[in-house]
Amino acid sequence: MGTAISPYLFFWQASQEVEEGKSRGRRMIVKGYGTSANEIWTRKIDVGIGTFFSKAVMFFVILGCATTLHRHGITQITTTKEAAEALQPLAGPFAALLYALGLIGVGSLAIPTLAGSAAYAAAETFDWSEGLDQPYKGAHEFYIVLVISIACGIVMDFLRLSPIKMLYWAAIINGLLAPFLLVGIYLVAADAKLMKRQPSSGLNRATVLIAIVAMFGAGVALFVV
């Protein structure tokens, strides 16, 4: 759950929507009022397609590991080499190359997203100027956090920390933090005044409530069961 509903997505997705609006001339809050039905529909398509493909990739990752590593009794992956071995039935001697290319591709997407979400979260918290569309002079605190986040990732690599364990514990921390943020999102989305008479639909609120209960339950079960 911590990999599917991650706190960084809340900051990144919302901030990118704002920046897209600014690129279309919506540089004042008042110009963002009255979102059209077509805009909401296109956002649903955007999120829906992205969610479908991300979950499809996750399914095949689980399937590939289950039919290769788990079948041979390898249930504790501690190195990237062991993860690459799951691709051998598909890619043969090119498994390591395919895995490396996948890491490069994912890293190219993850670095701006993860580091950027930290910068957006800090900027929202301390009311700094923000946005990747801003010059450094106009949002230097935002860019400082962005650079520090990337630098921390580089330093951890040189510390020889296990990337598999780091991913594992990062997912757990995300899973524990996400339901609290979902509660905040639910309260805001259900408030007609805050949403300028365009609150989230009953179906959407029910879906979020189910996710909140499930994630709180999973968090408690992690320490109790």
Checking 125-130 for CB contacts under 8 A at 24+ apart, the result is 130/15
Q: What is the pLDDT of residue 210?
A: 94
Q: What is the pLDDT of residue 34?
A: 65
Mean pLDDT, the chain, rounded, equals: 84
DSSP letters spanning 64-126: HHHHTTGGGT-----SHHHHHHTTHHHHGGGHHHHHHHHHHHHHHHHIIIIIHHHHHHHHHHH
Q: Give the mean pLDDT of 199-222.
A: 91
pLDDT digits over 5-32, tens only?
776 777 777 777 777 777 777 766 666 6
Per the document, the length of the chain is: 225
Q: Which residue has the higher pLDDT, 80 or 38?
A: 38
Q: Could you tell me the pLDDT band of residue 144, with boundaries at 50, 70 and 90?
A: very high
Q: What is the pLDDT of residue 186?
A: 93
Q: What is the pLDDT of residue 146?
A: 92
Count Cα atoms within 13 angstroms, Cβ side, for 159.
10
pLDDT digits over 31-73, tens only?
666 677 787 888 889 888 988 988 898 898 888 888 877 887 8
pTM value?
0.72
pLDDT digits over 104-142, tens only?
888 888 888 888 888 888 998 899 988 888 888 889 999
Q: Could you tell me the pLDDT band of residue 147, with boundaries at 50, 70 and 90?
A: very high
Highest mean pLDDT (candidates 36-45, 193-202, 210-219) = 210-219
Q: What is the pLDDT of residue 30?
A: 62
- Measured distance CA(86)–CA(61) in Å, rounded: 9
